[in-house]
Chain A
Amino acid sequence: MSYQESKSLTNIFSSIIITGIYTLIVYQRYLNGNVDTTDIFRFWAIVILIFIPISIVARIIIMIIFSIGTAIVQTAQGEEAEVMDVIDERDKLIELKATKISLIIFSLGFILALVTQVINMNNHVFFITLIGAGVITEIVSELFTIIYYRKGV
């Protein structure tokens, strides 16, 4: 498995783990009946605004651990450590295609979130659908990145 493929897999797992843990914490603290439902928009704004920096910091830490791990594995296998931060035209093309796919999937998620409001579902469902769409978008986009690296573009 190439560096880019491993990186995409790491992104998928980190996305699932970070979002999963944060969702669990938020659910246990607020959503199991203890939440003040009078100001749902403020509540979700706070939840999302807290999630953004936590997610960024966690991803940076995971990527540092991943880079160290990759270097250790390469050294153990007797390979000379390669410079992996070179982003060339193929990487950019794959990134562009993955971004296109992620935009389509998130748009579908957004439409689904709007539908939940049209059929009079709880406002919480709107935000949960949006966040779920974001996670699914990232997973699918990274999976397509792996496929493009494997099968070619």
Chain B
Amino acid sequence: MKKLVINNNVRKLRFLNDEITQKDLAVKVGVSRQTIVAIEKGQYSPTLELCFKLAIIFDKTIDEIFYIESDEKENK
């Protein structure tokens, strides 16, 4: 199976949630700001636990935050 390119809407969701900063989000989910930066850039795929934490913070399901790159293109 081909390696999946996973992307996310974290940056967009941050702005939709009162423009929460990367630093504040990092504190809320218990990681460093650099990790949030890496997630937003698609350089790091977080663990399921962190995905759930983000989902709780943004009040979304995990697949509303993370998606496979090709799926997003198909949706567009």
Contacts and interface: CB of A to CB of B under 8 A. Distances in A.
A96 to B, nearest CB: 13
A91 B43 contact: no
B31 A90 contact: yes
Interface in A100-126: none
B43 A89 contact: no
Point out which of B31, B34, B46 has the most chain A C-beta atoms below 10 A from its C-beta. B34
A84 B23 CA distance: 12
Contact of A4 (B34, B43, B47): B34
Chain A contact-residue range equals 10 to 19
A51 B4 CA distance: 47
Contact of B44 (A3, A82, A86, A153): A153
A2 B34 contact: yes
Nearest to A90: B35
B41 A152 contact: yes
Given A89-B50, A90-B38, A151 B43 contact: yes
Interface string B24-43: 00000011111100100111
Contact of A152 (B30, B33, B43): B43
A94 to B, nearest CB: 9
A100 to B, nearest CB: 18
8 contacts: A82-B33, A84-B32, A86-B31, A90-B38, A90-B46, A151-B43, A152-B41, A152-B43
Interface of B: 23, 30-35, 38, 41-44, 46-47, 49-50
